[in-house]
Amino acid sequence: MSATAATLLQRIENKTATIAVVGLGYVGLPLVRAIRESGYPVIGFDVDQRKIDALNSGTRYILHLGDDFFSTLKADANFTPTSDPKDLGKADLVVLCVPTPLGLHHEPDLTYVMESTKTAAASLRKGQLVVLESTTYPGTTRDEMKPILDARGLKCGEEYFLAYSPEREDPGSFGRSAQHIPKLVGGVDDVSTDLAMAFYTRVVKSAHRVSTAEIAESAKLLENIYRAVNIALVNEMKVVLTDMNIDIWEVIAAASTKPFGFQPFYPGPGLGGHCIPIDPYYLTWKAREVGRNTRFIELAGEVNTSMPHYVIERTQHALNGHTKSIKASNILVLGIAYKKNIDDPRESPSAEIIELLRDRGAIVTYHDPHLANFPAMRKYRTNLSSVALTPATIAASDCVLILTDHDAVDYALLGQHAKLVVDTRNAMATVPTSMIKCEIVKS
């Protein structure tokens, strides 16, 4: 270990190292909290000045983190939010938590990773460790980031250090804060791994060392591909079993009684969020570089991306039973966040379903207790705002379409006042049968 590395290690061990977190969103902010609670001073960097202003004023901009989170950061003298990239030069560790979306043809879009790496490189100095947390394809840290950082003239592994540690955030899930989720850590060399491990073992409950950055990058993809494939499986079973008049939700509950060899996954209207609909395609794209096809992954993608159309089909069938067509029907969509109890609509299937309904002539409104306005999305634009969920609003709808099962929704109210409910999340199962006066169609 070089003298430079030894000095950085000492600063990490005695918690005098300053940590910069680049990207103050759904991944970066929980990491900031974990780092601060472990005792390190933190610089929070984001190019979005609105986030910096919100942090300086203690204003919440991510629902599930709560008001106390933002007020606590505002009062914390050892947390400095900034949009000035020169401030990254003051940090001993720079952790990149930026989006990795897809392009129009399902190709990886590393724009945010490359730009943030260039930003970090502009102030790179001896004794800094750079860590990428964004989900990406194997080789990104070594083959894409390292050349940019090397161009500063410092030697990796001796004068500066580089590692990968994938984020494992689960927004809105109780008891799964960043510091309680185990971390994978893999560097581009042994010394970089040593330093990153020294840091993460002091921030999170446990950290697992792997031999290379590529192992950590691949493991993160495997985690998300595993979920995508199993969700596709239950989505396909739902379609088949529904035609057999068999309740997929009861089937899953029954299978879940087996204490080994089975893990429950649940169907829905499609995939949403910043991970599951996107990350499998990173490996699909990279596989072609080595002459391989990922047929299993791509098949799962086909099943999952077909679900919004299946929801439309089921909604049309349910309306037909009430002598109505989708055209000119008033349809109230319940939930536009991609999962329950959060305010994150990224890649939400609700956006595509609403567009499909409108294309077929439906009059669409929506209610989401956590999203007052439908934000512009990667592929969709809409001017809708959330309507109040009242007996009158429900009764005026020809169909209520449940796409996100937020806990804050009064499902009994739906049961009492709706004409028809199409339920893609089994949310109405929480309502006693005696309180349901409408038809419920599971989709």
Nearest residue to 232 (alpha-carbon basis) of 306, 294, 150, 332:
306
Annotation says 97 is catalytic: no
Measured distance between the N- and C-terminal CA atoms of the chain, rounded to whole angstroms:
59
Question: In DSSP terms, which residues pair with 161 in a beta bridge?
Answer: 129
Length of the chain: 443
What is the rounded distance in angstroms from the CA atom of residue 167 to the CA atom of residue 188? Answer: 18
Strands ordered across the beta sheet of 420-423: 363-367, 330-334, 399-402, 420-423, 439-442
Q: How many CB atoms lie within 10 A of CB 418?
A: 24
Catalytic residue among 97, 156, 275, 399: 275
Q: Would you state the torsion angle of the CA atoms of residues 280, 282, 284, 287, taken in this order, to the nearest 10 degrees?
A: -140
Q: Is residue 345 a contact partner of residue 354, using CB atoms and an 8 Å limit?
A: no
Q: Order of strands, edge to edge, in the sheet holding 93-96?
A: 79-82, 42-45, 19-22, 93-96, 128-132, 160-164, 183-187, 207-209
Least Cα distance to 382 among 345, 344, 422, 338 occurs for: 345
User: Which residues are marked as active site?
Assistant: 275
